[in-house]
Amino acid sequence: MPDACFADPRLAAVYDPLDPDRGDLDAYVRMADEFAAGSVLDIGCGTGVFALRLAGLGLDVVGIDPAAASVDVARGKNGADAVRWICGDATRLPPLQVDLATMTANVAQAIVDPELWRATLAAAHGALRPGGRLVFETRVPSRRAWQEWTPELSRQVTDVPGAGRIESWVRLTRVDLPLVGFRWTYVFASDGATLTSDSILRFRERAEIEADLAAQGFVVEEVREAPDRPGMEYVFVARRP
């Protein structure tokens, strides 16, 4: 079931203004150009920021996400008619033949169930044309990124048009590797409402991911760094032979 920050309509509507810096997507746009991708499957498209950016460059884009509220936000944006939106996880995909499949940001780590993870990789493989690539990122476990997920380091107050001032912060709820849990809290000044969203991420080691990709028929071409977070992320480039 999707986390509340994606599935609750009130939280989905303010997700983008609460996280406006999406410079992390620049590297994926460059890779779409590097691999001469004319068609892209955006797995875990959320509110559609990346899918719409690619569609604006003239690519044929399919965006899929299990959070209906987030997909509704995406469908309401300018240019949304240029993207094919699907509500569901990757196992719900129709027949496709795309050049590139992506899982940006937390998408890969948010698939914590091992069976669903394998099914997602298999679905991505099936959606790619021969020679097509799957690209995704996941945090390097040894860098222990969760140590910075504290109220002191994350607290912010944001003025959101149409919603008013929102105070938000994150707090760890569990560290039981490979699983790390955390809770975002949102306080709406307009009516005093306090909403929370609980999440769990799976921190997989590089060798485990490489084995999972190989088991689904992928060839790992390269493991890169995220250029905006050097040393913090594995960025996998896997090809369907």
Tokens of 177: 């590797």
CATH of domain 4-141+204-239: 3.40.50.150
Confidence of residue 2 (pLDDT cuts 50, 70, 90): confident
Q: Once rounded to an integer, what is the mean pLDDT over residues 165-182? A: 98
Confidence of residue 1 (pLDDT cuts 50, 70, 90): confident
Q: What is the mean pLDDT of the chain?
A: 97
pLDDT score for 187: 98
What are the sequence ranges of the domains in the chain? 4-141+204-239, 143-201
pLDDT digits (tens, 9 = 90+) for 110-149: 999 999 999 999 999 999 999 999 999 999 999 999 999 9
Pairing of strands 128-139, 39-43: unpaired
pLDDT digits (tens, 9 = 90+) for 37-90: 999 999 999 999 999 999 999 999 999 999 999 999 999 999 999 999 999 999
Q: Once rounded to an integer, what is the mean pLDDT over residues 231-235? A: 97
